[in-house]
Structure 1
Amino acid sequence: MTFITRTEELEKALKSMREIDSFVTIDTEFLREDTYWPQLCLVQVAGSQTTILVDTLSPDLSLDPLFDFMKNDCILKVFHAARQDLEIFYHLMNEVPQMIFDTQIAAMVCGYGEQVGYETLVSSITGKKLDKSQQYSNWTRRPLSEQQLTYARADVIYLRDIYLHLSEKLAAKQRQIWIEDEMAILKSEKTYKPDPESMWTRLRLKNAQPHYLARLQALASLREKEAIRKNIPRGRLIRDDVLTEIAYHNPSTLKQLTDMRGAGRTLTQEKLGQKILENIIKANTLPVGECPQLDIAQRGKKPALGQVDLLRVLLKIRAEKYKVAEKLIATTKDLESFLLLKEIDSLHSLLHGWRYDVFGQDAWEIKEGRKGLSIAGKNLTLCSL
């Protein structure tokens, strides 16, 4: 294990990996309590011959060699639960590495359950037990302790064995294509690029009145842009519940705004309160046709009572048969949108690819009344009607 604090050391180590390895395992340690973007503190990279721990806070180190390495399409980069790690690299590099593999997704396909943790995979695949006592330690502190370094090293050392094991299982079951949709999501910039204009859809709504939705959209967008500009968590700027209350009560003066419970003095700082009022006025003058609209899920449109439950039974049967996590086949939202379809839509996730073969085809026949479920001994089976 090599602890790297200088640019030339990083260049030398990565050059060696490029010459020797077809894949490396990568993990990061970061803090995010006080910032919008994660603060990168350490990067761990393990090749077949060496493991390096890169001190990203060292004043003598440039991360440019690491970024070039991440862009190298000849080397596979293996992560576990990659989304947050890739978000960090996207923010720093302004692009997403494309040659990646996520062992958490692969484990879901290979029968290890939903969102299985790294510690569980290490235990079940390698028989080793991880010491997780340093998981929530302060990674900005220097020097890092021996316990922290040992913990950081373990997060990439065992990942090599996990990757080899899972990739063999995927090949044996001919399921490499099963993880392609999820990997495509991880490789997409849209996954990590904030969209201020859509942030309102994540909030709990008070009603569906058009100008209320317009105010909510405007204020959620303003909050997101300000949080990014100041690099602070959005909830620290304005809490979700306060934001929805402001949009609902529609204040027209700064006093009305700051008198609201939870608003406090922060809304008067740097003229934020005035910006809020300006956005409210603008939203209130929008023509109704230009106000945001709720989608089917937000409007509360649901399938008939019991239909989702019926498909959940089929989902459970198929997940057990194929030894794959239920969530990877379909979520509750997938089932609801599927049941609301009037005709087969090949763009729906359950109506094309492996999900159609495993679940969607039979689910559609149940939906159309051509198949049903029956009890055969101790088992539930699918039958024609």
Structure 2
Amino acid sequence: MQFDMISTQAQLHGFIETLDNSPLSLDTEFVRTRTYVANLGLLQISQNEKITLIDPIAITDLSAFWQAMDNKECILHASSEDLEIIRDHKGDLNIRLFDTQVACAFLNLGASLGYAKMVETLQGVIVDKGESRTDWCKRPLTEKQVDYAAIDVLHLKPCLEKLKAQLAEKNMLTFFEQECQNILHQKMHKQDPENVYLSLNNLFKLDRQGLAIIKALATWRLLTAIERNLALNFVVKADHLWLLAHYRPTTLDDLHRLHLLPNEIRIHGQKILTIIKQISAQDEDSYPALITRLMDFSAYKKTLKSIREQIQTCADKYQLPVELIASKRVINEYLSWCWKLDDAQRKTAKTPKLLTGWRLELVGHQLDHRQPKA
């Protein structure tokens, strides 16, 4: 496998000088175990059939490269985590994305087709994925590791060329490009600390004071995780946040009785108790409203079944994976918008995914946006 390895700042600047406006095939290798932000272990680029590997362990300042990506066409496969790394290092996602996994989905090759299977299907080449679980931050990298990494960008451009031709023939190329832009837009919206609690489980079991406590604890946990670069559950486990909001401990002994982890109590115990005390002393008018579950609406099961049938009909008609059009979460987002918001709130709320872009054109326009509350 022929490639250049960039391991000095001078080499990086020399490489950047060679970049032109041709599409960049891009992949990242990273390690994410205990950290909030993934640790970048290797950056792979291919342009004009020339593969370059950048070592971010040896080169600590990649800002010139991230800036050089501005407005470039970038080809990635299953781009979600790669985009998070680009966003966290670059500060934006000012690129034009072509995600080959998304293209495969629009061609009904699979909702989440892996890179190796895509290459085998389109190029007839078997790709060895044996190094996928390696520690990419450990040095030195072996010859087998770097060959594996280089192959991850070798086939992206030729695969995309075939995929785009088939998408054009299927009249899905514009929809594919829309979806890639949707992914970029979504990835640029980081978690809102004030609303991060809404993603936690069993909120409907809490009273308003409990919701205020779990909201404050979830906000504190996220900000602490970002500040200390720790995975969220290495600050406090999500299930423990619910226990704290429900039982409202007042002493360290109470925390032990709730079976919080020793490190959670030792490092954060007093802060947790302070937050609970502060929230409990607030006026109840400041507390969030109770959480209503969609399944508590008597029409939910029937409506969910009806929408799924409409989506299945759409998927069959256009030969698309059902999961690409709408997961259960996407349907629930739509129903929450219909049922939990009044007309004035809907005007300012985020439009549900089913009512935007190509989804609106293919199926969303058929849905009853004025679902009755039951």
Give the TM-score normalised by structure 2: 0.87
The residue number in structure 2 matching 1:80 is: 77
Asked if 1:67 is matched to 2:66, the reply is yes
User: Is 1:248 aligned with 2:246?
Assistant: yes
Task: Identify if the C-alpha distance between structure 1 residues 179 and 295 changes in structure 2 by more than 3 Å, giving closer, same or farther.
Answer: farther
Instruction: Give yes or no for contact 2:97–2:181 (8 Å, CA) kept in 1.
Output: no
Residue matched to 2:359:
355
Aligned CA-pair RMSD:
2.7
- In structure 1, the residue matched to 2:208 is 210
Q: Tell me by how many angstroms 1:175 deviates.
A: 2.3
Residues 45 and 320 from structure 1, CA distance in 2 versus in 1: closer, same or farther, beyond 3 angstroms? same
1:170-209 pair list within 5 angstroms = 170-188=167-185, 191=188, 193-205=190-202, 207-209=205-207
DSSP 3-state at the match of 2:289? coil
Partner amino acid for 2:304? V
Structure 1 187/349 Cα, relative in aligned 2: closer, same or farther at 3 Å?
closer
Give 1:160 deviation, angstroms.
1.2
Q: State the 1:300 CA deviation.
A: 4.1
Instruction: Specify the code of the residue in structure 2 equivalent to 1:2.
Output: D
Aligned to 1:380: none
1:45 Cα offset (Å): 0.1
Q: CA deviation at 1:126?
A: 0.9
Alignment of 1:43-192 (within 5 A): 43-59=43-59, 62-71=61-70, 73=71, 75-188=72-185, 191=188
Structure 2: any 5+ residue segments left out of the alignment? none
Matches within 5 A, 1:210-229: 210-229=208-227
Q: Distance in 2 between matches of 1:237 and 1:305?
A: 37
User: Structure 1 residue 8 and structure 2 residue 10: aligned?
Assistant: yes
* Structure 1 residue 122: Cα displacement: 1.0
2:301 is paired with a residue of what secondary structure?
coil
Matched residues in 1 for 2:32 and 2:46: separation? Answer: 24
CA–CA distance in structure 2, aligned partners of residues 352 and 49 of structure 1:
37
**Is the partner of 1:130 in helix, strand or coil?**
coil
1:254-303 residue CA offsets vs partner (Å, 9 max, x unmatched): 3222332133243222xx22211111122213333322235654684463
Q: Tell me the SS of whatever aligns to 1:197.
A: coil
**1:43 & 1:238 partners in 2: Cα distance?**
32
Shift of the 316–223 alpha-carbon distance from structure 1 to 2, 3 Å rule, reads same
What is the total number of aligned residue pairs between the two structures?
Answer: 360
> Which shows bigger deviation, 62-71 or 293-302?
293-302
TM-score with structure 1 setting the length: 0.84
- TM alignment of 1:361-372, pairs within 5 A: 361-364=365-368
Moved more, 210-219 or 157-166: 157-166
Q: Which aligned runs of 4 or more in structure 1 are off by greater than 6 angstroms? A: 342-346
Which of 275, 282, 285 is matched with 2:278 structurally? 282
For 1:261 and 1:34, the matched residues in 2 are separated by 21
- Which SS does the other structure have where 1:44 is aligned? strand
Change in Cα spacing, 1:302 to 1:237, as seen in structure 2 (3 Å) is farther
SS in 2 for 1:51: strand
Answer whether contact 2:221 2:235 (CA < 8 A) is retained: yes
SS at match of 1:196: coil
Confirm or deny: 8 A CA contact 1:14 1:69 kept in the other structure: yes
Answer yes or no: is the 8 Å Cα contact 2:96–2:181 preserved in 1: no
Higher deviation after alignment, 342-351 or 354-363: 342-351
Structure 1: unaligned runs, 5 residues or longer: 369-385
